[in-house]
Copies of this chain bind each other. A is one copy, B any other.
Amino acid sequence: MVVFDMRIAIAQIDSIVGDFAGNADKIVRFAVRARAEHAAELVVFPELALCGYPPMDLLDQESFAELSERSLRSLQNRLPRDIAVGVGYVGRNTMASGKALVNSYALLLDGTVAFEQEKTLLPTYDVFDEARYFESARERRVFAWKGERIGIAICEDLWWESENATGFRYAIDPVRELLDRGSTIMLVPSASPFVRGKFEVRRKLAERVASRGGIPVIYANAVGANDSIVFDGRSFVVAPASGSASAGPLGAASLRAVARGFEEDLLLWDSVAGNGKSSPAKAETNELDVIEEALVLGIRGYMQKCGFVRAHLGLSGGIDSALVAYLASRAIGADKLVCFGLPSRFSSEGSRTDARRLAENLGARFVMLPIEGAFEAYLDTLEEVFEGKPFDLAEENLQARIRGTLLMAYSNKFESMLLTTGNKSELAMGYCTLYGDMCGALAPIGDLLKTEVFALCRRINERAIQSDGEPVIPVETLTKPPSAELRPNQTDQDSLPPYDVLDAVLSLHLIDNLSRAEIVERGWTDELASRVVKAVARAEYKRRQAPPVIKVSPRAFGMGRRMPIARSPYEA
């Protein structure tokens, strides 16, 4: 019986896109720790850890590949000895045809590149554009070392046999080939973005491979936020039941160790001891809690990488801005957050009170800036050109734009980052004002449907009880009917279907990609389906000018959903 015998570390790091020097320093630090603290023989870094993921069109610059290669060479000589270091980097395609680059993974050992494997399956759907830059690996080999045979499947390479979003199969199964070549261990360096439920998908895929091959699978995921994408970390090891390496392909595999979620970590797995020196995992059994962590990291990481220390937002007294304020206070600390009340002539007393109370609960500064003065000045200026036409959307949007302008003035004066508070239901239906409430550098909850916003707020209030016995988000904020308060007695349901209905249809249309006719087949009325599908199509021009949203669903607005603006709303 062959017992796989190796001390392996997963270095789950947060790389900054394009920061070769900083990322290399971090790789050295983690490798030194893996060797010194854990006596690891192999340390596995994530996919493209050297340049960060996704580098996007920086890859089109010839200098990027040059820097990548230079950085890898200089890294070789800075790493500790007697430990193999697996590092993802951008290499050059040396074949006669195809894209200029490859998504590569090097095993560095004692000052040399001991082995290299390129990525075979290049995700080109959703937020991924890898076929834009990379050529597929020509071949898949295993690295014989210390009596083991190491196979490397980079992220999507594991995905061949999973149903994926666009429902297709790749022509090649890299993992099958690597198993056929006798891999005794499979490394899966990844930059796999967070999506609800994604950890279980990864784990099952890895377990299937581990069971099929009777070998351990080391899944090293990136962590950190990059624009719309949050990498959740949660790297892990799955392995067959003890001794099952001899049992062959049928040994059932299971989870042996998991790294922290949403922060950097160094996870050690000792194959002989049979289980990992696992980091203490956070209590993240509830998926809403995991989403909360993703959004907090999404805000924190974006701000850090963009160089912002302070943030601010407008508090309407409603649930969306309340949630964003709560998330921001967790991300950067309430002392670096300023909340603005921006009441209009249509704002209720309750809204003002709820906004102020939330800021107090969070411990954030609250500033009241009434918009009436600017509103009157605009109406005066526009009086003649408006030709006495009645109050309508123009006046409603004016108020939202005054708020956006005031918040941006604060941003410019104090170098504070404005957070946008819109949710996905609004963005979908165009129930938001371009250059108004859509102003901001980041839309933290732009991928949460309104019903998901409610669910998350209720969940937060279950845990976050103030010393006065009240929950952190004022109860009234959750119980009153949603309203933009841009005209007298307005509620969202004047303009939109009830949110539970709307979100159900939006989910079918946006996530499942169903057309009007298919939504009707699912039992919704033609009138409702048409109304929603048409509104979504019509609002594309607004979304094109929206800030990045933090992706938590399989299909978020932004780079993962690329729609034409000028088009016929076919089948609508």
Which residues 236-252 of A sit at the B interface, judged by CB distance below 8 A?
Answer: none
539-569 of chain A: CB within 8 A of chain B:
541, 544-548, 559, 561-569
Are the CB atoms of B226 and A57 closer together than 8 Å?
Answer: no
Q: Are A97 and B381 in contact (CB under 8 A)?
A: no
Q: Let me know if A337 is at the binding interface, CB within 8 A.
A: no
Chain B proximity mask over A353-392: 1 for CB below 8 Å, otherwise 0: 0000000000000010111011011101110011001001
Contacts of A401 in B (CB 8 A): 401, 404-405, 408-409, 435
Is A439 an interface position by the 8 A CB rule? yes
- B57–A562 contact, CB under 8 A? yes
Known: A405-B378, A406-B382, A544-B548. A19 touches B439 (CB 8 A): no
Interface residue tally on A, bucketed by range: 35 or more
Flag whether A317 is at the interface (Cβ < 8 A): no
Chain B residue with Cβ nearest A377: B377
Is B378 touching A406 in the complex (CB atoms < 8 A)? yes
By a CB distance below 8 angstroms, the chain B residues around A131 are: 124, 131-132
A397 to B561, alpha carbons, bound, how many Å?
31
CA distance A246 to B403 in the complex (A): 74
**A571 near B404: Cβ-Cβ < 8 Å:** no
- A200 contacts the other chain (Cβ, under 8 Å)? no
Taking CB as reference atom, which chain B residue is nearest A382? B409
CA of A514 to CA of B376, assembled, Å: 50
Task: Find the B residue at minimum CB distance from A132.
Answer: B124
- Chain B residues whose CB sits within 8 angstroms of the CB of A569 once the complex forms: 18
Measured CA separation A433–B499 after assembly (Å): 35
Interface bits A490-529 vs B (CB < 8 Å: 1, else 0): 0000000000000000000000011101100000000000
Q: How far is the CB of A128 from chain B (nearest CB, A)?
A: 9
* CB-defined A-B contacts under 8 Å, sample of 10: A18-B569, A19-B568, A131-B131, A226-B564, A226-B567, A385-B410, A401-B401, A401-B408, A401-B435, A408-B435
- Pick the 3 closest A-B CB pairs, nearest first: A19-B568, A305-B566, A63-B515
Knowing that A60-B513, A378-B406 touch, tell me 5 more A-B residue pairs with CB under 8 angstroms: A19-B570, A58-B563, A97-B170, A373-B377, A398-B409
